[in-house]
Amino acid sequence: MIRFSLRCAQGHDFESWFASGPAFDTLKARGLVQCAVCGSPEVEKALMAPAVAKGSETPRPLSQPGSEIETALAALRREVEANSEYVGMNFVSEARRIHAGDAPERSIHGEAKPDEARRLMEEGVPVAPLPFMPPRKTN
């Protein structure tokens, strides 16, 4: 996994994780990479600097968003959780069933290993990674 600093055409800076550099390029070419703030699909990699943790700083709980991006991500999470069904580790099989018409069409979110998610995309199943962890994996 690799984390890229990204910037949209509107000047919003944000970060996202990808399986690899080529995976980012593939997702971007398919229009699946969008700005976390405004939703623009016009996203480019931004100049990145290595992250160095400072031992003296006390981390701020994520439940108290401070930046515009954190606020937008918290709003996105609330929107996803309010308007889709959490299917947990059954995400891959349920996404395939919905895509094949064997399950009712609806919005779902859940968990998938990177290689499973990649296979879904290769099969044409419309999926996208979410920029937050599922509820059971948060502190």
Q: Are 3 and 16 contacting, i.e. CB atoms less than 8 angstroms apart?
A: yes
Instruction: Give the pTM.
Output: 0.52
pLDDT in tens, 106-138: 999 999 998 998 899 899 998 888 888 776 654
Please tell me the predicted confidence (pLDDT) of residue 100.
95
